[in-house]
Amino acid sequence: MNFDSRKYVFIVIFLFIGVLYISKLFYMQVIDDTWSLRAQVIAEKRRLITPPRAVVFDRFGKKIVANRTYYNLMMVENNIVDLDTVAFAKLIGWTKEEVKQRFIDIVANEGEYYNRHMGKMDPNYRPYRSYPFIKELTSDEMVKIAPYLENYKGFYKEVTSMRDYPYGTGANILGYLSEVNQNEIDKDAFYKAGSRIGRSGIERFYEKDFRGTKGVKYIITSALSATIGSFEDGKYDTTAVQADPITLGLDVLLQGYGEKLLKNKRGCIVAIEPSTGEILALVSSPNYDPNLLVGNRKIKENYPKLLENEDKPLFPRPLASEYMPGSTFKLLQSLIGLQEKVIDENTGFPCNKSVVGCHNHPSAQSVTDAVKMSCNPYFYALTRRIIQQGKKSNDNEDAELGLDIWSKYMHSFGLGKSLKTDITGLRPGLIPTPKYYDHWYGHHNWKFSTIRSISIGQGEVQVTPLQLANMAAIMANRGWYYTPHFVKSFGEKGPKEEYIIKHKTLVDRQHFDPVVEGMRRVVYEPGGTARRARVDSVVVCGKTGTVENYRGSLKLRNHSVFIAFAPMDKPKIAISVFIENAGGGGGTWAAPIASLMIEQYLKGKVKPSAKEKRILDAILLQKER
């Protein structure tokens, strides 16, 4: 039998498989791109590069927030060869046990996942991935380790950048950074585990202006996640762009000086440039060095201490503390009285101590003198006229109408509502409205005599030191203000738009002159309450305040308040100073501190004097008499 024809069976099979394979290859390689996309997922990785955050300059170009290089000591377990634990521990300054424990902790920190194949929990940790062994080593620490690192295979250094505050001031303004939480990672694709985000201050408020633009690097990675090379020679890569430097209106020397003055005192100073609304200084005391909260290691160490400190250094007093304004409030009562025409410049009221307490002085014969002498009965009478204008026959209804008018004036001065300053943590203060008293006393169940303490800035009225400083700026500008703000310019772009809108108060320009003259007399005339506020060759206008306060029924030492601006013509600085439980009056502590701040800002330095020494030496931490 001849089986030669069977060769065709073979030839057919071979050709069939050849055609089949070529067809499949053509489909896989040319037509269908499923496998190409899978290959991309497998081998190509996008690596995001985070630029250093924007640096910050003060108004005179001093760098106040910089970035400093730190190092992470990284390790890849699979690359570690014969680790001499003892020698390694010695190199990094740990004990042998700590090193061993660290390895255990790294695995534990990664958590576990449910392995479907094995039906049990498996660690997320992968011995071929890199993990930080020690985070955030300073250059000095790294210098000691780096030369010997090549003896320890599997360990290498990685550069990171963290904040540095060369002046160590303004912690409550600048804020601090910390690592993002899972919620933040989920919400914003910019962040990944280990990214840092602004937690407070302007770093938080302007997070997006600080963080810059991420760069993307397309790389080819191995199955062990090692980088093999850039994809297509980096054709699609983009570079990380650091955000433009941010210039603040802050004068870092003034800020530092303010912090020095408030040492051993509780209180705050806010200084504003009236013509722009730029915040020159915002001191909260007690405060802390912002360098204490740089990086996880330091945050872990220092944050709990700061949080537990009973003087609350983390609390931004100038923004969030609501105080009664005391006699500083009398300036506004005068202005409203003049605008409402319930008085004129030369209206006098007797200093009738039977209504409200006062100090000994002659009766004021004009609003100017009333301001100078801070006469309580005068402003009592004046405010009564504002509240009870007699437009309605019923006293209660009349008071309702009057208070409504009054509160609108107050709002126009930026009181009773949050200023839209570019920082988080602002409080609104309180300007009572008719609704407010209706709630407490019942509708039409109150009149001026019920609420009379508001006339001298006590009672229900509350303002923040920032609002108080803004009030000083309004006095300086004679009737208008820009919302106080920190950022003078992003790169060359200037501030955000809302800070170049001029806000006008409801009081006309001409009514300011007698009141401002009163403020001058406060400082310069006999009988004025703040002669300690004088500054050589500069005319300072100010107003003191003495705020009584109680803990329960226990009367505590008075708060000492002072607001001022200088020079009287073309003012360059408006300031509020608030010293808690200082004792004495506004002229005792707050006024001299304000004058030193004005001197520092206008002259660039302060001549050593007995006045300065007295402030620096004072310890005013006791609350009770």
Partner 1 sequence: MRKNESIIGNIDWPLLSGYIVLLVIGIGTIYSVAYDPEHPNLFDFSQKYGKQIMWLAISLFLGFLVFLIDSDIYQKFAVPIYLFTLSLLILVLFTPPINGARAWLGIGSMGIQPAEFAKIGTAIILARFLSTSNIKKQDRRMVLIANGIILIPMALILMQPDAGTFVVFTAFLFVLYREGISYDTIIIPILNAIPISSLRFKQTWIGTHFIPILFVVIFLSVITLLYSSTVISIDFLDIEMGGYWGVFSFLVALFAAAYIFMRSTFTRRDRKRAATIAIIGLLLSVSLTATVDFGFQKLAEHQKDRIELVLGLKEDPNGDDYNRYRAMAAVGSGNFSGKGYRNASVSSVESNHVPESETDFIFCPFAEEWGFIGTFILVILYIFMILRIVFIAERQKSVFNRVYAYAVAMILFYHFAINIGMNIGFAPVIGIPLPFFSYGGSSMMSFSMMMFILLKLDSQRKDVLN
* Amino acid residing at 92: I
Taking alpha carbons only, the member of 620, 619, 612, 613 closest to residue 558 is 620
Taking alpha carbons only, the member of 93, 101, 98, 157 closest to residue 130 is 157
Q: Which of 61, 82, 104, 117 binds partner 1 (CB under 8 A)?
A: 117
Q: Decide: residue 605, CB within 10 A, 0-12 exposed, 13-18 middle, 19+ buried.
A: exposed
The interface region with partner 1, picked from 8-16, 168-176, 343-351, 533-541 by CB under 8 A, is 8-16
Residue 118 found at the interface with partner 1 (CB under 8 A): no
Residue 29 found at the interface with partner 1 (CB under 8 A): yes
The interface region with partner 1, picked from 60-68, 185-193, 220-228, 579-587 by CB under 8 A, is 220-228
The interface region with partner 1, picked from 30-38, 87-95, 383-391, 429-437 by CB under 8 A, is 30-38
Q: How big is the chain, counted in residues?
A: 625
Nearer to partner 1, 121 or 143 (CB): 121
User: Per CB under 8 A, which of residues 89..108 are in contact with partner 1?
Assistant: none
Taking alpha carbons only, the member of 596, 558, 597, 564 closest to residue 580 is 558
Q: Which of 221, 296, 418, 453 binds partner 1 (CB under 8 A)?
A: 221
Nearer to partner 1, 221 or 275 (CB): 221
- Residues paired with residue 155 on neighbouring β-strands, in sequence order: 75
The interface region with partner 1, picked from 200-208, 223-231, 398-406, 442-450 by CB under 8 A, is 223-231
Residue 616 found at the interface with partner 1 (CB under 8 A): no
Sign of CA dihedral 476, 481, 486, 487: negative
Residue 418 found at the interface with partner 1 (CB under 8 A): no
Residue 113 found at the interface with partner 1 (CB under 8 A): no
Task: Tell me the number of residues near partner 1 by CB under 8 A.
Answer: 41
Supply the minimum distance, in Å, between the C-beta of residue 11 and partner 1.
6
Supply the minimum distance, in Å, between the C-beta of residue 128 and partner 1.
10
Pairing of the two strands 267-273 and 573-579:
antiparallel
* Amino acid residing at 181: N
Residue 11 found at the interface with partner 1 (CB under 8 A): yes
User: Per CB under 8 A, which of residues 40..69 are in contact with partner 1?
Assistant: 40, 42-44
- Contacts of residue 118, Cβ cutoff 8 Å, sequence gap at least 6: none
Residue 237 found at the interface with partner 1 (CB under 8 A): no
Residue 10 found at the interface with partner 1 (CB under 8 A): yes
Q: Which of 7, 120, 551, 570 binds partner 1 (CB under 8 A)?
A: 7
The interface region with partner 1, picked from 17-25, 80-88, 483-491, 548-556 by CB under 8 A, is 17-25
Residue 22 found at the interface with partner 1 (CB under 8 A): yes
Supply the minimum distance, in Å, between the C-beta of residue 74 and partner 1.
21
The interface region with partner 1, picked from 184-192, 215-223, 255-263, 274-282 by CB under 8 A, is 215-223
- Give the whole-angstrom CA distance, residue 623 versus residue 556: 6
Taking alpha carbons only, the member of 532, 534, 594 closest to residue 562 is 594
Nearer to partner 1, 188 or 237 (CB): 237
Nearer to partner 1, 17 or 501 (CB): 17
Residue 223 found at the interface with partner 1 (CB under 8 A): yes
Supply the minimum distance, in Å, between the C-beta of residue 315 and partner 1.
51
Whole-number Cα distances in Å, 319 to 215, 464, 599: 36, 6, 24
In the 8-state DSSP scheme, what is residue 215?
E
Q: What are phi and psi of 499, to 5 degrees?
A: -95, 5
> How many C-beta atoms surround the C-beta of residue 309 within 10 A?
13
Q: Which of 222, 239, 346, 449 binds partner 1 (CB under 8 A)?
A: 222
- The 3-state secondary structure of 44-94 reads EEEEEECCCCCCEECCCCCEEEEEEEEEEEEEEHHHCCCCCHHHHHHHHCC
Q: What are phi and psi of 76, to 5 degrees?
A: -125, 115
Residue 9 found at the interface with partner 1 (CB under 8 A): yes
> How many C-beta atoms surround the C-beta of residue 433 within 10 A?
18
Q: Which residues bind partner 1 (CB under 8 A)?
A: 1, 3-4, 6-7, 9-11, 13-15, 17-18, 20-22, 24-26, 28-30, 32-36, 38-40, 42-44, 117, 220-224, 228, 231
